[in-house]
Structure 1
Amino acid sequence: MDFSIRKAKDADIKTLVDLMGLFYAEANYPLDGKWAAESFCFLLAHPSSGCAWIAQEGGCDAGYVVMTHRYGMEHGGLIAYIDDLFVKKEFRQRHAASMLLEALFNECKDMGCKSVAVEAGSGNHAALGLYGRFGLRQESATRILLQGKL
């Protein structure tokens, strides 16, 4: 059976939170469900901040991807970020992630994004291979991401 990919809407918030919970559980990372629901509510209410897609097969939720974006001076235009990408184990190696990324990249092209970025673990070879097939490469061996919470 083939996957169907669709843009998430308000009615999908519980589905998105459930999928995010599975994603976080795989990494042994706790998920605050209330925070996740509020975050998805904000994202879906503010399409200028980004959007999300859900993959389904036969009515079963298989995975999701979240894209956020901002204006980047270095590119003179929008930079999109693959904020989250997750596919349930039983649907992996069947192109669901590729189909989710195709939807994301098509949206980025339609928006005129100049660049797409993602953060991935250096040991996550499956993710690195997938992103590489979409033309994403490590930008620099000398630049590092610095981040702080406010």
Structure 2
Amino acid sequence: MDITLTVAKLSESDTIMKFIQELYEHEDIRFDESIANTALSQLLEDDSLGYVWLIYGDGEAIGYLVLTFGYSLEFGGRDGLIDELYIREEYRRAGIGTKVLEFVTEFCNSLGIKAIHLVVERKNNTAHSLYHKMGFEDCDRDIMTKWIRS
């Protein structure tokens, strides 16, 4: 299968939103379309925040990748967060995730990004296996979140 990634455009928001909803259902994450759509639009309109790519397999959109940017003294400067990576179920375990992670690693390296982080559910053994194979390490830390609502 021929895999390509293209930087998503605002006009492709509907396609990405369908993938976001599928991912959130799969991961049992609360989906609020209004919140997700606003955040997606901001990201698509400002590449200083990060990038969204659509993943194509043989010309058909089969998933998406979101990379956002941060900065960390501990990690030596600018860093990236793979905020979301989704490949439709029927295309999983075919090497596509590996190709996507290789792509994002090369992209980050070209920008001088020092480290790439991601968050994965503890129970998702398949994803853990892939991420370890691709060089991601457990940092012996937990991600903690405080929601700030205005």
**TM-score, scaled relative to structure 2:** 0.91
Q: Which residue of 1 aligns with 2:134?
A: 134
Q: Which residue of 1 aligns with 2:20?
A: 20
RMSD: 1.4
Helix, strand or coil: the match of 1:40?
helix
Give the distance between the partners of 1:145 and 1:58, measured in 2 at CA: 36
Q: Which residue of 2 aligns with 1:145?
A: 143
Which runs of no fewer than 5 residues in structure 2 stay unpaired? none
Give the distance between the partners of 1:61 and 1:7, measured in 2 at CA: 12
Give the distance between the partners of 2:133 and 2:64, measured in 1 at CA: 18
Give the distance between the partners of 1:88 and 1:147, measured in 2 at CA: 27
Amino acid at match of 1:113: I
Give the distance between the partners of 2:75 and 2:27, measured in 1 at CA: 33
How far is 1:144 from its partner?
2.6
Which runs of no fewer than 5 residues in structure 1 stay unpaired? none
How far is 1:10 from its partner?
1.4
Matched, 1:94 2:90: no
8 Å contact 1:68–1:80 — kept in the other structure? Answer: yes
Stretch moving more, 26-35 or 9-18? 26-35
**TM-score, scaled relative to structure 1:** 0.91
Give the distance between the partners of 2:11 and 2:22, measured in 1 at CA: 19
Alignment length (residue pairs): 148
Correspondence list, 1:1-150, <5 A = 1-140=1-140, 143-150=141-148
How far is 1:122 from its partner?
1.8
How far is 1:95 from its partner?
1.9
How far is 1:34 from its partner?
2.0
Matched residues, percent identical?
26
Give the distance between the partners of 2:117 and 2:28, measured in 1 at CA: 24
Give the distance between the partners of 1:44 and 1:117, measured in 2 at CA: 20
Helix, strand or coil: the match of 1:148?
coil
Give the distance between the partners of 2:47 and 2:127, measured in 1 at CA: 26
Helix, strand or coil: the match of 2:16?
helix
Give the distance between the partners of 1:37 and 1:146, measured in 2 at CA: 24
How far is 1:57 from its partner?
2.1
